[in-house]
Structure 1
Amino acid sequence: MSQARNGQRPGGGPMGGGPMGAMGRPVEKPKDFRKTFNRLLGYFAPYKIRLSIILIAAIIGTVFNIVGPKIMGLATTKLFDGLIAKYQAFLRHQPAPGIDFTYIAQILLLLLGLYVISAIFTYIQQYIMATVAQRTVYRLRREIEEKLSRLPLKFFDGRTHGEILSRAVNDMDNISTTLQQSITQLITSAVTLVGVIVLMFSISWLLSLIVLVTLPLSLLVTVGIAKRSQTYFRNQQRALGHLNGHVEEMYSGHKIVKAFGYEDEALTQFAALNEELYEAGWKAQFMSGMIMPLMRSIGNLGYAFVAVIGGIMVTQRGITIGDVQAFIQYAQQFTMPITQLANFANVIQSTMASAERVFELLDESEEIPDAMPAAVIEERQGAVEFQHVRFGYKEDAILMEDMNIHVQPGQMIAIVGPTGAGKTTLVNLLMRFYEVNGGSILVDGVDITQLKRGDLRRTFGMVLQDTWLFNGTIRDNIAYGHEGATEEEIVRSAKAAYADHFIRTLPEGYSTILNEEASNISQGQKQLLTIARAFLADPEILILDEATSSVDTRTEIQIQRAMGELMKGRTSFVIAHRLSTIRDADLILVMNHGTIIEQGTHEELLTKKGFYADLHNSQFTSQAPISEAV
């Protein structure tokens, strides 16, 4: 959705086309170009020698290529002089001299050799540049991947997945493309431009001045059209984002659209957005498409003057015909590197903006490193203790103040309260997804900040209300939390979670592949698989967040029994919305506004006639008539 909203292609980069479309597109500019450029340049430090080879190869390859027309002119002049001599001899009725084809053949062989050498050096340049670019991008991608694994949970909570993916994928693709293509193009364009100017002046300063006079006109046309087309491309991006967003929403919610009879309105809205995109699109493409024809027209104007004045100079023996031919070729090559350099100015701005966004991600504050040396729990029992815990998602908005909980091994702790009371926050602190602002949390007498996060989290098994399954087989999904699990262990866990029966009814059984959203099985079946995963992990402490909310009543009863077996001998934290499921809890924590306002057993809390009693009565009083009727 985020890509669609921004009018971007899946591969990144703004939409738009035309021969010189990139020059007209709106360019995102970096906040600090020099700082970002120098930092990106630092990634090339290990490749100084290779970059020097690339520069030398690019210069040699380009120089050998651009001297070709000059040498070809020698053959043309020799052939022209031979024809003129034949014609003059014919007029004078004298024997006609022969054309020196040996000299022409030598020139052509020399020219062939130059072009072959140019191609070889160009190949070397491209090959080494591809290696350097891909290794640099590989290093950046690896740093991003490692960085993402070190970022705290609050970083991901505060940003959309689309934004993070855009930096890790689209911006990296933009940098990769520029390093691979645009840098070598910059070198060859600069060398070509300088070389062409030098060779043109070596042939004729007068003709060179004629070509240079067209330069301001070319720049005026290019800059003028680029500025005009930027507005149209910006409108095109915006319209494309709206259209993509509408299509995505209508497609993802097609059942709702049909259920409420919204098809006609959706089609009408699509037609309006499509028309808006059409209007902006054809203007953008037309404007960007005008640049090349206008540049060609200006080039043809220069060509006409060069041909006429050059022809006059040939008749006056001021220049050879071969040099005129070479000069015309150079004049045609003159505008292309200028256009490429102007295009590179836009590309480098966009690339630095992408690099800046990548570096911003790399500079994000990381989670506190694991203690060194880390503590180890010698004997895992499942005791948990909160000692004067103070926590807030923001320093100026403290949610928990002086929280104290003492949980014995094997106890079932139920956490209840209204939405936003802090139930999930308590679990996040226990798993060390967030760091406490004060106090400490102990597991089996060890402060969790002294444990490695991996060791701490392996102590817990989680079954959440929102299921999480990945693209892969059912077997792999169940075994996700237990590396090296055998087939027998996987099947036993599935049977304990009452998932084995439905798994075997699937066409491929345990080898059935779940798609990315696991939409090829029901919500209840997803939940059963996550419960089977928890069974297989065999943790010391369980965290259950309404684990049976998505299954039918009969299956819920079965899972409750299985959960009872699973929780035996284990400490368990149960986040409950239906109070009927936690009547037998050893301790019930009643939370509100991040604070534990009541705690005790089910009977004790009902006797207090406080907040818990009100919650209980609100759930069961309305059901009394139904129960009596039954």
Structure 2
Amino acid sequence: MNRSTLDRLIKVASPETVALSWGLVFLAISSASALAYPQLMRWMIDNVLQPKRLDLLLPAIGGLFLAFLLQGVFSSLRYYLFSIAGERIVIRLRQQLYQKILAQEVNFFDFNRTGELMSRLASDCTTLQNTVSVNVSMGLRNAGQVIGGLGFMFYTSWKLSALMLVMIPPIALGAAIFGKKIRKLAKDSQTALGEASIVANETISGIRTVKSFVQEGAELSRYTSSLEQALGLVKQRLNAVSVFMTFAMVMGFTAICFVLWYGGREVILDHMTVGDMTQFLLYLMLVAIGVGSLGALWGDFNAGVGASQRVFDIIERAPEISDQGKIETSSKGEIEFRDVHFSYPTRLDIEVLKGINFKVSEGQVVALVGSSGGGKTTIGALLPRFYEPTKGEILVDGTPVKELQLNWLREQIGVVSQEPILISSTIEENIRYGKPDATLEEVEAAAGAANALEFIRNFPDGLKTR
């Protein structure tokens, strides 16, 4: 993970500093309790079991129980705090992503299909959610377990521990190599899943067309093909993770076998006690389990980094059309196009409008009539600045639209689209959508003007019908 990605995640996580700080405190306590267990076992073997001190057995068992109790309680608190902080971080991230998507110019949606954007909101954020919540908690726990375990291993027998360090460079090298591969595969698999979402979105949005031409089978084949491509990339990622986990586990078990041979020899020669040997083995098991878990988490973490890069690409993108500009005190509605030329950004080689000049006076009614593809819809899209002309200028009441505040300009324009879209709310809220502060009388007047008020009133809930 590069520095910029880490800085981004830290910035998003900064509001959760209190919860994460307490989580780290509980992490330290639970890790210390786990690391105390081998020490207590060593003391019990050397001072209770071997000397056969029955009077010390119950206190020894009580100490072990207390260590387990502390570990269980504080591990639960650590898990809760990290998880709830992670959930809030991802909710905040989803809000920022959705806000940024809505703030983009229409041109952005020509280059980024709806299904792909939905994939970033859904699957990418879900992948990132696991990374910044449960996986971070488990990763820190296992890292603390590994570091603490290594420290106590050196305290118990520096010779055995020094020999064990020979195993670390190969594992670290493997983590670096496989981590890079896993990160790339994770990003590619998320992109492939996005393609599958695009196919599904297109099909469901145009379901009437699909059914009219009896293309359900063809669309199912398209969707299945996209899923199979995503599955292939997921398999490659899982294979890479499995190979790394196998490599790390083999190295760990090799180390255990070596310790049993060398440590057993030290016990036989009276250079170590049985308690010391048991303590070393327990710490070694803690380290081995921690390293193995970190290996599994490494793959998930790299998948989260790949997802975060796709999410932050949008969050940090500045819209090409600025909302800055002046707000007029009133609007008469005079419109003028002066030598307007335009080509769609996706097809710059084809000029849709060539030197358009016309003027619409206040109160004048004008209809644009022409063949399909003649530019009627394009003219309607240029007025509210969905796109910018490649040449020429558009004026409203004598002021170039580029000088007007974008939101104010669009609030002065009423639109009835060719394909009306209803939001998931009441009839009243749908009518009020263009003017949220409209009174009930204004809503009813609008419904009456559209010849819809009578049949709306026939519904049991009237305007409140969903």
| Aligned amino acid, residue 325 of structure 2 | A
- Deviation of 1:413 after TM superposition, in Å, equals 0.7
- Deviation of 1:403 after TM superposition, in Å, equals 3.0
| Aligned amino acid, residue 408 of structure 2 | D
1:209-244 deviations in Å (ceiling 9; x for gaps) = 675566678789999999999999999999999999
Preserved CA contact (<8 Å) 1:210 1:305:
no
- Deviation of 1:303 after TM superposition, in Å, equals 4.6
1:11-40 deviations in Å (ceiling 9; x for gaps) = xxxxxxxxxxxxxxxxxxx8xx33333344
Q: Please, which runs of 5 or more residues in structure 2 have no aligned partner?
A: none
Say whether 1:156 aligns with 2:109. yes
Structure 2 CA distance for aligned equivalents of residues 232 and 357 of structure 1: 14
| Aligned amino acid, residue 370 of structure 1 | Q
Match of 2:375 among 414, 419, 422: 422
Say whether 1:147 aligns with 2:100. yes
Q: Identify the residue that residue 355 of structure 1 maps to in structure 2.
A: 308
Structure 2 CA distance for aligned equivalents of residues 241 and 145 of structure 1: 16
Structure 1 CA distance for aligned equivalents of residues 220 and 313 of structure 2: 41
Match of 1:480 among 433, 450, 465: 433
Say whether 1:442 aligns with 2:395. yes
Match of 1:453 among 384, 395, 406: 406
In the TM superposition, what are the counterparts of 1:21-100 in structure 2 within 5 Å?
33-43=2-12, 55=24, 57-83=26-52, 99-100=53-54
Match of 1:469 among 400, 422, 433: 422
Residues 1:248 and 1:369: Cα distance change in structure 2 (over 3 Å): closer
Q: Identify the residue that residue 383 of structure 1 maps to in structure 2.
A: 334
- Deviation of 1:160 after TM superposition, in Å, equals 0.6
The higher radius of gyration belongs to: 1
Residues 1:177 and 1:249: Cα distance change in structure 2 (over 3 Å): same
Residues 1:448 and 1:309: Cα distance change in structure 2 (over 3 Å): closer
- Deviation of 1:74 after TM superposition, in Å, equals 0.9
Q: Identify the residue that residue 204 of structure 1 maps to in structure 2.
A: 157
- Deviation of 1:427 after TM superposition, in Å, equals 1.0
- Deviation of 1:274 after TM superposition, in Å, equals 10
Preserved CA contact (<8 Å) 2:332 2:362:
yes
Match of 1:179 among 120, 127, 132: 132
1:574-624 deviations in Å (ceiling 9; x for gaps) = xxxxxxxxxxxxxxxxxxxxxxxxxxxxxxxxxxxxxxxxxxxxxxxxxxx
Preserved CA contact (<8 Å) 2:334 2:362:
yes
TM-score, structure 1 normalization? 0.59
TM-score, structure 2 normalization? 0.76
Say whether 1:326 aligns with 2:279. yes
Residues 1:221 and 1:42: Cα distance change in structure 2 (over 3 Å): closer
- Deviation of 1:195 after TM superposition, in Å, equals 1.7
| Aligned amino acid, residue 336 of structure 2 | E
Structure 1 CA distance for aligned equivalents of residues 96 and 186 of structure 2: 34
Preserved CA contact (<8 Å) 1:210 1:306:
no
Q: Comparing both structures, which one devotes a greater share of its residues to helix? A: 2
Structure 2 CA distance for aligned equivalents of residues 338 and 295 of structure 1: 8
Residues 1:313 and 1:235: Cα distance change in structure 2 (over 3 Å): same
Structure 2 CA distance for aligned equivalents of residues 353 and 228 of structure 1: 11
Indicate the SS of the match to 1:403.
Answer: strand
- Deviation of 1:483 after TM superposition, in Å, equals 2.9
Q: Comparing both structures, which one devotes a greater share of its residues to strand? A: 1
Say whether 1:403 aligns with 2:356. yes
1:412-462 deviations in Å (ceiling 9; x for gaps) = 211122222221121112222223455543334444344433333232222
Say whether 1:105 aligns with 2:74. no
Q: Identify the residue that residue 295 of structure 2 maps to in structure 1.
A: 342
Give the superposed CA RMSD.
Answer: 4.8
Match of 2:324 among 365, 370, 378: 370
Q: What is the count of residue pairs matched by the alignment?
A: 462
Structure 1 CA distance for aligned equivalents of residues 91 and 216 of structure 2: 47
Indicate the SS of the match to 2:367.
Answer: strand
Residues 1:496 and 1:331: Cα distance change in structure 2 (over 3 Å): same
| Aligned amino acid, residue 49 of structure 2 | F
| Aligned amino acid, residue 369 of structure 1 | D
- Deviation of 1:161 after TM superposition, in Å, equals 1.2
Once the two structures are overlaid, the 10-residue window that deviates more, 114-123 or 473-482, is 114-123
1:232-259 deviations in Å (ceiling 9; x for gaps) = 9999999999999999999986996798
| Aligned amino acid, residue 315 of structure 2 | L
In the TM superposition, what are the counterparts of 1:127-138 in structure 2 within 5 Å?
128-130=81-83, 133-134=86-87, 136-138=89-91
Structure 2 CA distance for aligned equivalents of residues 171 and 237 of structure 1: 7
Preserved CA contact (<8 Å) 2:27 2:78:
yes
Structure 1 CA distance for aligned equivalents of residues 344 and 90 of structure 2: 35
Residues 1:499 and 1:120: Cα distance change in structure 2 (over 3 Å): same
- Deviation of 1:364 after TM superposition, in Å, equals 2.6
Once the two structures are overlaid, the 10-residue window that deviates more, 129-138 or 418-427, is 129-138
1:326-370 deviations in Å (ceiling 9; x for gaps) = 233223222222233334444443333333323322333322233
Residues 1:176 and 1:254: Cα distance change in structure 2 (over 3 Å): same
Structure 2 CA distance for aligned equivalents of residues 453 and 275 of structure 1: 44
Structure 1 CA distance for aligned equivalents of residues 301 and 88 of structure 2: 19
Once the two structures are overlaid, the 10-residue window that deviates more, 71-80 or 314-323, is 314-323
| Aligned amino acid, residue 61 of structure 1 | S
- Deviation of 1:296 after TM superposition, in Å, equals 6.1
Indicate the SS of the match to 1:461.
Answer: coil
